């Protein structure tokens, strides 16, 4: 067992510095693509859906969601490229934006999933958790 652990450690050790980038690029790219998928603004299908649920200002809200997703995704990636306080701040704010967007998505689109097996088998919970990771950890 110890030999296997040592072998795996020797393989993994040079890759450790890039491990935050695996999460950063996955989350950032996912959010950018989800947001771009809602363009052109306002996203008509989403507006119609929000109207059917009685939300006020659906054109504004859905447009803000789309722009917020693109900005949060880009911020997660950009924050990692910038050193010092600015990069850390951008990463934390972007992670926080992901958390807020995902709470909204879970509560509005998947409220029947709350604290169920279905939630924990969805991508939404993982996007939320990775956003929370960056909101807390920043670039540290």
| pLDDT, position 41 | 94
pLDDT digits (tens, 9 = 90+) for 31-51: 999 999 999 999 999 999 999
**Domain segments of the chain as ranges:** 2-137
Residue 72 has pLDDT above 90, yes or no: yes
Residue 112 has pLDDT above 90, yes or no: no
pLDDT at residue 6 in the model: 96
pTM summary value:
0.90
- Per-residue pLDDT band for 113 (boundaries 50, 70, 90) equals confident
Q: Note whether 135 and 90 are within 8 A (CB).
A: no
Q: What is the overall mean pLDDT for the chain? A: 94
Q: Which residues lie below 8 Å from residue 69, measured CB to CB, with a gap of 6+?
A: 31, 32, 34, 35, 38, 101
Cβ contact 20:130 at 8 Å: no
Tell the burial category of 5 from Cβ atoms under 10 Å away from its Cβ (0-12, 13-18, 19+).
Answer: exposed
How far apart (Å, rounded) are the C-alpha atoms in residues 59 and 87?
Answer: 32
């Amino acid at each position: 067992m110890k030999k296997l652990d040592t072998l795996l450690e020797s393989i993994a050790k040079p890759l450790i510095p890039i491990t935050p980038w695996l999460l950063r690029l996955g989350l950032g790219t996912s959010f950018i693509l989800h947001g771009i998928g809602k363009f052109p603004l306002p996203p008509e299908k989403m507006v119609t859906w929000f109207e059917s649920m009685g939300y006020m200002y659906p054109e504004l809200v859905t447009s803000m969601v789309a722009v917020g997703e693109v900005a949060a995704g880009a911020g997660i990636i950009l924050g990692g490229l910038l050193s010092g306080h600015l990069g850390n701040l951008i990463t934390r704010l972007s992670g926080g934006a992901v958390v807020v967007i995902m709470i909204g998505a879970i509560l509005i689109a998947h409220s029947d999933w709350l604290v169920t097996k279905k939630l924990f088998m969805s991508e939404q919970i993982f996007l939320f958790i990775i956003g929370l990771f960056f909101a807390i950890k920043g670039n540290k």
